[in-house]
Amino acid sequence: MGIMGKLFYYKKKGNFKRSKKWEGELNKCIRCGYCYELCPLFKSQNWESDTPRGKLLLIYGMINSEIEPNQEIVDKIFQCFYCKNCSDNCSAGVPVTDILTDARADLIEAGFEVEGTIVKINEDLCSVCGVCLSVCKYDALSIEKVGKDENKIVVDKVECRGCGLCVSACPSGAISQKEGCEITLPELHTKVSSLLKENKDMKAIVFCCNWSLFPGMQLSEYQNLVKTPYGLIVSMCSGRVAPELVLNAFEEGAWGVMVAGCPPEECDHDGNYKTRRRLVLLRNMLKELNIEPERIKLDWFSTRESAKLTKSIDDFIEKLEKLGPIKKMEITKKVGG
């Protein structure tokens, strides 16, 4: 190996100076695996290497030179939505996401190409309007000058938490996240459609914010045995529930749509303000279409208010049962007219 080769090798291997300071905390992780249940990524991927425990193991292996970083490991480390369910509920108190952020910085410094759950900008579509900057709470997006009169949006790959609010805010559809984690708009559309198609008695779709009130991740399959009149979809921040997603649910036969988000002052991303504005407009739109606006419900829940969520959903279903199904002909007539 020549000098350049060696330099490249060591650069790629990384020195993990940020991650190494966490060795004591990584030892505190007893590896009980209780974080599996709390991890939305594990639910969608089902590989243990996508769980918080799995990520901590990989970081531990890298800082102790038991494994060398490679693209597969990097991909795992950069897949996380920072919902912090793991950090907040770890009874060993291990700050999982802080450790992860430092490992990400180390891997970027080592020269790895990263994607994971980080957002991507399609420069051909981006008009550099800057709307995305205003919704990002982590300052992960910035405008960079690239020519005399030319700017572009740049993503800070360490700071981006993958919440995807910028994806739903971008008016040009220029921002995207990779498919496969059940959070992109097309994936959510598919989920809504399949829930309603597979369960003919399902009356409502309930979008739950992953941060405010984690509704629990059922890891086993028993939908065919225990039917509920509603389908729960964890949509990360409620601000990601795009209007077309709500309308899509109605079109697929839902009698109503409920969005469960954080109380306004508690939102990690300020996405709930957007949800509130968005749903007011949608309700007005339903009214125009001669459809009862109360078929759209928005309610706030703090963490650990699962009893309140259950009651709120039950009340909503009761109301929907009184209202009955939407008369489809009327929608078509009105929309068409």
Partner 1 sequence: MKIDVEKLKSIVGEKNVSNNIADLYVYGSDASVHQALPAVIVRPKTIEEVQKIVRYANKNKIPVVPRGAGSGTSGHTVPIDGGIILDMKRMNRIIEINPQDMLVRVEPGVVDDDLNRALRPFGLFYPPAPASSRIATIGGEIAANASGVRSVKYGATRDYVMAMKVVLANGKLVNLGSNTRVHSSGYQLERLIVGSEGTLGIVVEATMGIIPLPKFRCLAVANFDKLEDAGNAISEIISSGSQPSLLELMDKIGIIAVNKAMDLKIPEVEAIIMFEADGNVKEAVDFEIQKMKKICEKYGGKNVKMSYDLAERTRLFSGRKKLFASLSRYKEGIICTDLADDMGVPNSKIAVTAKKIHEIAERNNVIMAVYGHCGSGVIHTKIMLDPKKKSQWKDAERVIDELYDYVHSVGGVTSAEHGIGLSKAPPWKKARADILPVMRSIKKALDPNNILNPHKLHDAPDDWVKATKLRYKVG
Q: Which residues bind partner 1 (CB under 8 A)?
A: 23-24, 27-34, 36-37, 46-49, 53-54, 57-58, 61, 64, 66-68, 70, 72-73, 75-76, 90-93, 218-222, 225-226, 307
Distance, in Å, from the CA atom of 21 to the CA atom of 25, rounded to the nearest integer, reads 9
CB of 234 to partner 1, least distance (A): 16
CB of 78 to partner 1, least distance (A): 12
Helix (H) or strand (E) holding 143: strand 141-145
Cβ distance to partner 1 smaller for residue 134 or 218? 218
CB of 301 to partner 1, least distance (A): 16
Distance, in Å, from the CA atom of 205 to the CA atom of 62, rounded to the nearest integer, reads 43
Neighbours of 179 (CB within 10 A): 10
Helix (H, G, I), strand (E, B) or coil at 105: helix
174: Cα separation from own chain's centroid: 18
Helix (H, G, I), strand (E, B) or coil at 180: coil
User: CB–CB of 163/269 below 8 Å?
Assistant: yes
| 265 burial level (CB within 10 Å; 0-12, 13-18, 19+) | exposed
Cβ distance to partner 1 smaller for residue 66 or 321? 66
Distance, in Å, from the CA atom of 121 to the CA atom of 154, rounded to the nearest integer, reads 8
User: CB–CB of 99/26 below 8 Å?
Assistant: yes
Cβ distance to partner 1 smaller for residue 4 or 307? 307
CB of 194 to partner 1, least distance (A): 17
Place of tokens 């330099």: 7
Cβ distance to partner 1 smaller for residue 45 or 272? 45
Rg (C-alpha) for the chain, rounded Å, is 22
CB of 94 to partner 1, least distance (A): 8
CB of 298 to partner 1, least distance (A): 26
Cβ distance to partner 1 smaller for residue 17 or 333? 17
Neighbours of 306 (CB within 10 A): 13
Cβ distance to partner 1 smaller for residue 36 or 230? 36
Cβ distance to partner 1 smaller for residue 122 or 223? 223
Cβ distance to partner 1 smaller for residue 71 or 194? 71
Distance, in Å, from the CA atom of 123 to the CA atom of 118, rounded to the nearest integer, reads 16
CB of 220 to partner 1, least distance (A): 4
Distance, in Å, from the CA atom of 106 to the CA atom of 68, rounded to the nearest integer, reads 13
CB of 49 to partner 1, least distance (A): 4
